[in-house]
Structure 1
Amino acid sequence: MTLPLRLLYVAVLQVILTSFITYFLITDEYRDLSEKNVVILENFLIEQKKQALKNYTSIALTSVNQAYDSPKKNSHQTAQEVVADTFNGLVYNGDDGYFFIYDELGNSIVHPKEPYRVGKNWWQLEDSNGEKIIQLLIKNAKNGGDFYRYNWLKPSEGQKVQKISYSIYMDKWDWMLGTGVYLDDVYQQLSNLQAQMDTHINYTKHIILIVAMSSIFFIFLFGIMVNLSHKKKADAKISELSQRVIDVQEEESRHISRELHDGITQILISIKYSLEATGLYLTKNQQEKPVTLKSAQENLAVAIQEVRRISHHMHPQILDELGLSEAIESIASDFSKRTKVPVQVNKPALRKLLPDFINTTLFRIVQEALTNIQKHAKAKSVLIALSVESDWLTLIIQDDGVGFDIARTQSKGIGLRNLAERVEHHRGKFTIKSSKMGTIITVKIPTASFVNHFNESTIHSDKNDNNNER
């Protein structure tokens, strides 16, 4: 066997092994990550539902405190009727949010969505698992209030779905007051998230296979050319092919890593902020953080680190639906609502002016900058300015926060470095200036880097129009 053929077989084997290992490694990592994300999100959503039920119950009790706390004995029966009528009218979340009341013996007193239950005893009512639903709700209420999951008829859909209820005990009248929310929307959301992750996993697998097959194809192609040429030229060609294979693999690795950080990381970070906000809310109300909330925060921190290490991409749908200008205004508005920090947006109408790859780059920069401002800057105001002048597309993001050490931040994280690489890919300039007076991020992209995109699109559109006229 000639040396060129040996090198050819070695190169092919290397690509096959590398592709095989990469394929299964990334697939397994993605699967593990998606399962962790779903568990984290499920815990978070359930905790939100539980907190909402407590809030609804607290608000409802406040509305009947005057009747319930009445000291007049002769008004006892009247007060109960007033409270029952009040709870019959308390409805939230459309037809699915309501309050129900049973006495300590299991007699139904209030049930606005199933009035046929009122006046009857449901002490022995069981769910599909044989658990005594009313008994457990009364038990939880007498123990100081707790949550209970079971299947119950959802009014808006007319079928039984999983429900979580919170019940408390009204000692004065020996009443159990409860309310609940249905969890089908939570599991639908989790199912959608899992489906999206599966889609991206399959997409990544296809990319790996395409790259592997393309690499093998080019190796064989150049191998045949090498075998028909001189030995020295053959050696040079094989060396060049090896380098090209490495370049393709490295470029694909950078692409996957960059898209992962700019996509799903933002979702995880938003979940992290929501968990932190929930923790702060509990602390403010002098309530101890649930163990599940602490565990969710710890697992989320681990998941974020895993995401930074694995390649993945999530495309910003808001950019497709609204365009760049409206997308920036929308994310700025959400930021202001979340942080109470005003954001001034100066922008031209760019919905149809820029190609998708420029829109995505600028949107990601704004998204990453606002995330860092919320997390670190302690800013009181933010300015986002977008303009097109003098052959340059310019984006400026300025805040009046505490600033940061640019060199130290760039050495530790990949966020700013990835953004800079995106801008440089379009032959642009990415600069950051930071001091104790605030931070200014400036992005300048030459219009020449995307003007040909419009020329090619116009030519293609004109050809289609001409064909249609014919």
Structure 2
Amino acid sequence: MLIIFNVIFIAFIAAIIIFIKQYRIKKRSHLRELETIDVLHKKELLKTQMEIQSQTMKYIGREIHDNIGQKLTLSSLYLQQLVFENKAKTQDIMKNIDTVNNIINESLTELRLLSKTLTDDTVDKSTISELIKIECKKIEVLKTHNVVFNNNLNLILSSYQTKSILLRITQEFLQNSIKHANCDCIEISIFNTNNILFLVLKDNGDGFDIENVKTNGIGLKNMKKRIEMINGKFEIKSDSNGTVFTIEIPL
């Protein structure tokens, strides 16, 4: 009788252990599913946000060009007519009219440039290498920093989302290096190997405290989030010899 009781007791304990193990396995599986769903949701959200942003910018650009631009053009024409009809009026009035007309014409020029920028499809139509090269040329025009671009990318990156994120990160690195790093040389390298795209950003500036920036740097946190959205990862190294950002994106 005692033997039967012990067998039943052992079987009961074994059943509990098996149940607990299965529960933990199911729990881990469920957590992984939730993490996957969360990542997919964030990716879709980012993609949607970027699409909405692009459409909004294009809409604003068209409105500036078609609506506000036309009204300012009409106002300029009215002023020109006013000048023509009032040539005999006092010189002060004529000067004021000319001043207003000049302001309107300057505003029109600025609005046309803004409209062109907002409706620009450069990111869509250009390769990531071409986009980075454009940014490098902008810095070279300043003639304050030597910018080296090593382009060894032998594939076409079609994703607007990935190109846009890599471009924004490059722009931010260039701006930070120029403003804060006290550097005179910036080097950008882009290449791919083993189905991974690498973007390496370097400067020869003063460097910074990585741990302090990780704690308080909003820009760095946003950069990290952006890269994670496209399944990428990045590494930062910084010392008195300069700063190196290495970004890896799976293809």
Cα distance change on mapping 1:401 and 1:317 into 2, 3 Å: farther
Alignment match of 2:93 (pick from 131, 137, 150): 131
**Separation of aligned partners in 2, 1:343 and 1:427:** 28
| Larger helix fraction of residues | 2
- TM-score calculated relative to the size of structure 1: 0.32
**Corresponding position: 1:150 with 2:97:** yes
**Separation of aligned partners in 2, 1:184 and 1:358:** 39
Deviation (angstroms), 1:318: 3.2
Name the count of aligned residue pairs. Answer: 166
> Where does residue 392 of structure 1 map in the other structure?
196
Structure 2: runs of 5 or more not aligned: 1-86
- TM-score calculated relative to the size of structure 2: 0.57
Alignment match of 1:434 (pick from 235, 238, 244): 238
String of CA shifts for 1:219-239, please: whole Å, max 9, x gaps: xxxxxxxxxxxxxxxxxxxxx
Alignment match of 1:186 (pick from 97, 104, 107): 107
Cα distance change on mapping 1:316 and 1:435 into 2, 3 Å: farther
**Corresponding position: 1:382 with 2:173:** no
**Separation of aligned partners in 1, 2:208 and 2:228:** 23
Deviation (angstroms), 1:125: 4.8
> Within 5 A, what are the aligned runs for 1:222-233?
none
Question: Which amino acid is 2:105 matched to?
Answer: D
String of CA shifts for 1:71-97, please: whole Å, max 9, x gaps: xxxxxxxxxxxxxxxxxxxxxxxxxxx
Q: What secondary structure does 1:386 align onto?
A: strand
Q: With CA pairs under 8 Å and 6+ residues apart, which has the higher RCO, 1 or 2? A: 2
**Separation of aligned partners in 2, 1:316 and 1:437:** 38
String of CA shifts for 1:389-418, please: whole Å, max 9, x gaps: 022111100110001122323333322211
**Corresponding position: 1:162 with 2:124:** no
Deviation (angstroms), 1:339: 5.1
| 8 Å contact from structure 2 (residues 153, 190) kept in 1 | no
Q: CA RMSD in A?
A: 3.2
Cα distance change on mapping 1:377 and 1:191 into 2, 3 Å: same
String of CA shifts for 1:427-468, please: whole Å, max 9, x gaps: 221111100100000001112xxxxxxxxxxxxxxxxxxxxx
Structure 1: runs of 5 or more not aligned: 1-121, 134-148, 153-160, 164-181, 197-266, 268-313, 448-470
| 8 Å contact from structure 1 (residues 325, 350) kept in 2 | no
> Where does residue 43 of structure 2 map in the other structure?
none
**Separation of aligned partners in 2, 1:411 and 1:316:** 36
**Separation of aligned partners in 2, 1:396 and 1:434:** 13
Give the percent of matched residue pairs that are identical in Structure 1 and Structure 2: 28
**Corresponding position: 1:347 with 2:125:** no
Cα distance change on mapping 1:183 and 1:409 into 2, 3 Å: farther
Cα distance change on mapping 1:439 and 1:318 into 2, 3 Å: same
Deviation (angstroms), 1:328: 0.3
| 8 Å contact from structure 1 (residues 339, 374) kept in 2 | no
| 8 Å contact from structure 1 (residues 324, 351) kept in 2 | no
| 8 Å contact from structure 2 (residues 149, 187) kept in 1 | yes
| 8 Å contact from structure 1 (residues 325, 351) kept in 2 | no
Deviation (angstroms), 1:379: 0.9
